[in-house]
Structure 1
């Protein structure tokens, strides 16, 4: 059978809901009457004028959608048995569509201006042939008038899928049958079209159906609950900075198995994740209280294992960044005690409690070493504790690279700290992970903290510690020097290793430098003020201090959101700010004052950004701003005295005034955007 293209209905043609379907849809009885009328002809072979034109039987829409044979009754047998609504529409098979340039012939009909179904163009009653464009309209269920053919309207409302044809741009799309029924495929049975669709039309309909299905699926997805959002935010924003908890897919698998009590760990994860959720509100405090209760309440029956250490460590980090440092130190003491009781610091622990899972074994190794590093950073930046774990004997294997941990491709056998220390002398070229260099940086910090207090320049202890720091830097492999991994992504473990080393350099050399620290005595958000007497010239210790502070400021420019860094970066930036402000207050005119101004601006901006999550950053930001304003007012007061400008050229005077005005303008514009950090 030859196939004929079918026209798209005009957007102006409408269907009246009050007309009967018998006007256009032929039942078997009407078909028989038409057959008898076909035989009623005149003797000369002409057709009798009273006989109606031949009609074309059609299947109801329900049978057509299912590609089943329809008996043509109204309602048909299948719809009667299934209690479905039986609706017929006229077939348009064989219609070739309007010709081009129809406007040249006013007697031709247009799809957009069909004559009334009651009269023909000549005024007589038209042939009731559904192949004509102006055939009698179809009776539909009680619906509103429709401007274009819409397959969705013929389906029951409880099963009707969303229709893409409500878009005006798709109103004139040529559609011959319901594209949503059984994948939109047509067959040769009753109610189907035996001719094949054009390939382009077929692909367009498939793409359209896929798009509508995707939108419908996304619309039906429930909104994640707050605990689920906090869980996701933990892995999205926090996990890379302290990657000791199992990767997300591994933890979800363990939760699904239900063989391990993880309530305390999950509560701690939700607490950390809530810090990054703006509308967490009172739930944040609830998650914290629940985590602490599950860790210590005997009624909770939380086993004393590695998961308990992980939960406590997360709570400690969160409290320390939320200006609850005293409570964090108390929990740190408990966490370290439990870790030593369960022998987390020993080599066999990972194998004995890893359940034959290399990823879980790696998680236990990372838990010990992250506890070790956090203990060192808390002791270093706050200068209250003494880095207890530095003196604890540990033979835990070193962690692997982050991508290996996340993918589950754990290298065997693991390497140990002895391998790291002897790599230069053993002659073995073995690559070590970024986590291993982070551990080495924390060890250098511990060695510095065990050094006796330096009271004079040239102390040999200072030279020994500086040798450790310099050796760490100069022996870095090429791929570990710039905080970038092989995929050109920021390496958070090396990022932390570098800023630990820079902070250690400042703490080592600042007491011996010529920078007077008294102007920054109000900056105490991270550590108590340390008095440093001023001198008459810059010495080598001043150079070490200033250089390290500048390097910390440059780290802010790394192409990664600041909130993805560990909160300990807040205290390191604050330490750098103290050095910058001391230098700015020490000299009235600096050749590099513009560079110094930009570094201070970087630090203040970073603290302002970090304050969106960490309350400690908000406190530090306010203190740094206050000190900057004091220095600014002191310099302005001295500039009133004419003797101040003796020896300055006019250009230097203007530059100094503009620099002071510029930095204060920058502070005010940035700090006006700082919002109150979450409690």
Structure 2
């Protein structure tokens, strides 16, 4: 999806699970040789030279190089825990000090069994919120529980706030600095708890944020940012946009787009949070503009000298030297392309989105040329991804919404009447809808359908859908409408049935998002209204006549066109 980004999937050796340990059969008589690799290289799944004190790759990428201690030390863990002060135990992997839920390096999508063992919420995250038995029983609405829900669901796709341990420590040492941020996080956490009404939290939080006397601090900007995302996906787009605009104005007044704001911060974790806050504003501003079909977004034209975010595993550990935009722009000319964080590649994608916005206002000829250029930018972005990032991007499907946005208006995937009132669908201008068909239509049709298929496949990933950003609802709705248009106007035979199954998958994803987010419930209703007309009335006969993987029947003419 467009906005959804997340941490890297870690090596299986990081997944410390009692379940996995119980599966080990009889002990082996011989040891297994394991090549030594530092934590940054293992987290990125790249070859490590195992140099001491720092490997060559970490030196080249300016990362802090460190190695995991020997597993033999695990036998003394209990003894070590007895000697460890209580205020230090929260830093350990899986620590539970002060009620802290287990913290792990397993921040990617993993099978559900391993996933449950890492979240610390057991049944609260293992199934759908509405169906979980533990959620049907009365539970407390304590701040700690709501913060846990925020970190286990929302934070994974929006990693702007400082990590959980550091946040809770600051909440004890300096609660005044989090006066506005903490209630917003609790409100968002309450959205994921079906046994708690979020309305009371929502009204209190939004009334506080409406105050004209909000302090101009980085924490206030951060509170406004995450509140804007939640409000927007609660189907209050205008209010969400207003909150985000206020956050942007405050951030620019504080000069968070400059190098100095974050660099003056003595705490490296907090400095990284400030960098993430500004770039989070940038990406969210672009996402809101894309969803609302604006011609551009405000921060697209603002000069930014703030450094780039680091990897998620580094954010939870040791913050490396920040990389700059200049380094990123020069990466393609290096003999060995350096690896940047996943967040950085998302920022670049948001910049490409800024160049694509406003296509619906172009004439046919202008639109054709603009789509060609946009397609080149997207493909160049993907082709220049380092090898170790290719799989991550393929799983996240960040670019699929942009491809649908650019190619569908020029394709043969006609629009349903109800799509004219859907908040996600960018309709082309009338001249594009009524234009004559040409030979390039099929190229745009194919690319739009491939993007829709990739977006629908996101739902099949082995991780909880609610851990994706709710801004993914837009891309999922676009993909579902595109697939239904293909079934109504283009496809036949086995391809029709395969695409219908992807429509069902998309509807299931919208239903799952709808358990928390009102915007998804509306899209689900509109998509089902179209689906009833498409799939109840049309059941094509199976045909095996396909060429090149695409076999289309267009409209009511019944003409067989092969691509």
Distance 1:450 1:457 in 2: 11
Tell me by how many angstroms 1:609 deviates: 0.9
Q: Which residue of 2 aligns with 1:630?
A: 533
Return closer, same or farther for 1:458/1:324 CA change in 2, 3 Å cut-off. Answer: closer
Return closer, same or farther for 1:371/1:634 CA change in 2, 3 Å cut-off. Answer: same
The answer to whether the aligner puts 1:329 opposite 2:241 as a matched pair is: yes
Distance 1:251 1:328 in 2: 25
Distance 2:358 2:313 in 1: 34
Distance 2:306 2:365 in 1: 38
Task: Return the index of the structure with the highest Cα Rg.
Answer: 1
Q: Which residue of 2 aligns with 1:477?
A: 386
Match of residue 209, structure 2, among 275, 279, 295: 295
Cα-to-partner distance string for 1:629-673 (whole Å, 9 max, x where unaligned): 12235537xx9xxxxxxxx78999xxxxxxxxxxxxxxxxxxxxx
Cα-to-partner distance string for 1:570-592 (whole Å, 9 max, x where unaligned): 11000001111111110473341
Match of residue 545, structure 1, among 425, 448, 466: 448
Q: Which residue of 2 aligns with 1:305?
A: 217
Return closer, same or farther for 1:430/1:519 CA change in 2, 3 Å cut-off. Answer: same
Select the structure with the greater relative contact order (CA < 8 A; seq sep ≥ 6).
Answer: 2
Q: Which residue of 2 aligns with 1:369?
A: 279
Could you tell me which runs of 5 or more consecutive residues in structure 2 were left unpaired when the two chains were aligned: 1-138, 546-563
The answer to whether the aligner puts 1:416 opposite 2:332 as a matched pair is: no
After superposition, residues 200-599 of structure 1 pair within 5 angstroms as 225-258=141-174, 260-281=176-197, 284-297=198-211, 302-352=214-264, 354=265, 356-384=266-294, 386-407=296-317, 409-412=318-321, 414-427=322-335, 429-449=337-357, 453-456=362-365, 459-483=368-392, 498-499=397-398, 501-518=399-416, 521=419, 524-527=422-425, 529-530=427-428, 532-533=433-434, 535=437, 539-587=442-490, 589-599=492-502
Could you tell me which runs of 5 or more consecutive residues in structure 1 were left unpaired when the two chains were aligned: 1-222, 485-493, 640-647, 653-679
Tell me by how many angstroms 1:387 deviates: 1.2
Distance 1:303 1:495 in 2: 40
Cα-to-partner distance string for 1:451-501 (whole Å, 9 max, x where unaligned): 6725138833222211110011111112212228xxxxxxxxx865x32x1
Distance 1:367 1:556 in 2: 28
Cα-to-partner distance string for 1:240-297 (whole Å, 9 max, x where unaligned): 110000111111111211274211101110111011011221xx22222322333343
* Alpha-carbon contact 1:550-1:599 (below 8 Å) kept: yes
Aligned residue-pair number: 401
* Alpha-carbon contact 1:523-1:578 (below 8 Å) kept: no
Q: Per residue, is there more helix in 1 or in 2? A: 2
Return closer, same or farther for 1:495/1:287 CA change in 2, 3 Å cut-off. Answer: farther
* Alpha-carbon contact 1:404-1:410 (below 8 Å) kept: yes
Q: Tell me the SS of whatever aligns to 1:240.
A: helix
Tell me by how many angstroms 1:230 deviates: 1.0
* Alpha-carbon contact 1:456-1:512 (below 8 Å) kept: no
Return closer, same or farther for 1:279/1:650 CA change in 2, 3 Å cut-off. Answer: closer
Give the TM-score of the pair, scaled to structure 2.
0.67
Q: Tell me the SS of whatever aligns to 1:583.
A: helix
